[in-house]
Amino acid sequence: MTWPREDSPRSDARAIQSVSVLNADADWDRFTPSWYKDHNYAALGDDDRQILECVRDFFASADVREGRGLDAGSGANLYPALSLLPFCRDIVLLDYSAANVEWLESEIKEPNRSWNEFWQLLAKESAYDGVPDYRGALRKTVRVSHGNVLDLPVDEFDIGTMFFVAESMSTEKAEFEQAVHSFVRSLHRGAPFAIAFMIGSQGYRVNGQFFPAVEIDGHDVQQCLKGVAQLESIVDIDLRDPPLRNGYKGMLVVTGWAFGGAGDGGLGDEDRATAQHAGDLAGGR
């Protein structure tokens, strides 16, 4: 599927936000993770249900075992880590905000009971149902790290997630693209990944504090991943219920396989047979 560029006019709010805000400019330590978690993940919403089902089924078919996993830009959200849990001996939760890092370290020690509903959805697939105690597995497997998604190590991880990060860290399209490329290139050749995006976001508030975002569409997502990954699917999330998060038009979740730390060396996808089918879907490394 090819995504067309959306040419709808920008809203007055976006026009007002004319000052460039880079990731390094935002005061991420003023992010309030407890507020964000309670506002967005106190219960399993229909949008997150769709995302989790897509990611669950893809990872369960990807044949990763005892891997090293990455969730880039975890924020106040544990369900990406839960989606990685059966396939990893080690999971790094990376975040740039000191407040988020402190919250994640506390939450991993004693996960809120609200995550039970998220895990129950995952456990409908046998790979997840085989984990007898997801809370204990989190404590044993997960390590929280303070760091920037723009500066990830290359060719480091076997499987990865990045949810609502690349478009939600600055007002600049260049940093959006840099974040996506940094994440995908941190994965080994053939490593499966899942990325979720907010579409049309013009910035967002967390407990009254405004944080920057860049307005993207499906075309931007597809073009950004061209040359660094083979895509399995781009799924448009149906927002049937009134969304909990304001200031965006929709969500996409992308699954696929990384071409490896150096991308495809500048050749087109077809010229490299989509990078040998992304390492013969991880079997080639």
pLDDT in tens, 70-124: 999 999 999 999 999 999 999 999 999 999 999 999 999 999 999 999 999 999 9
**How many CB atoms are located within 10 Å of the residue 175 CB?**
23
Average pLDDT across the chain, whole number = 85
Lowest mean pLDDT, pick from 1-5, 18-22, 28-32, 232-236: 1-5
The residue among 182, 159, 168, 166 whose CA lies nearest residue 255 is 159
Q: Contact at 8 Å (CB) between 255 and 231?
A: yes
Cα gap 238→252, rounded to integer Å: 9
Q: What is the pLDDT of residue 242?
A: 55
Cα gap 215→79, rounded to integer Å: 25
Per-residue pLDDT of 150-179, as tens digits, reads 999 999 999 999 999 999 998 899 999 999
Whether pLDDT at 194 is above 70: yes
Contacts for 36-43 with beta carbons within 8 Å, 24 or more apart?
Answer: 36/75, 36/76, 36/206, 36/207, 37/76, 37/77, 37/103, 37/107, 37/112, 39/244, 40/76, 40/77, 40/244, 40/245, 41/76, 41/77, 41/78, 41/79, 41/114, 41/115, 41/118, 42/114, 43/114, 43/117
Q: What is the pLDDT of residue 10?
A: 40
Whether pLDDT at 180 is above 90: yes
Q: What is the pLDDT of residue 278?
A: 42
Q: What is the pLDDT of residue 263?
A: 52
Residue 275 CB contacts under 8 Å (≥ 6 apart), including other chains: 189, 230, 259, 260, 264, 269
- The two tokens of residue 258 are 């990384």
- The two tokens of residue 189 are 């050749």
Per-residue pLDDT of 245-276, as tens digits, reads 556 788 999 999 999 875 544 334 443 433 44
Q: What is the pLDDT of residue 31?
A: 82
* Over residues 209-237, mean pLDDT: 92
* Over residues 8-35, mean pLDDT: 67
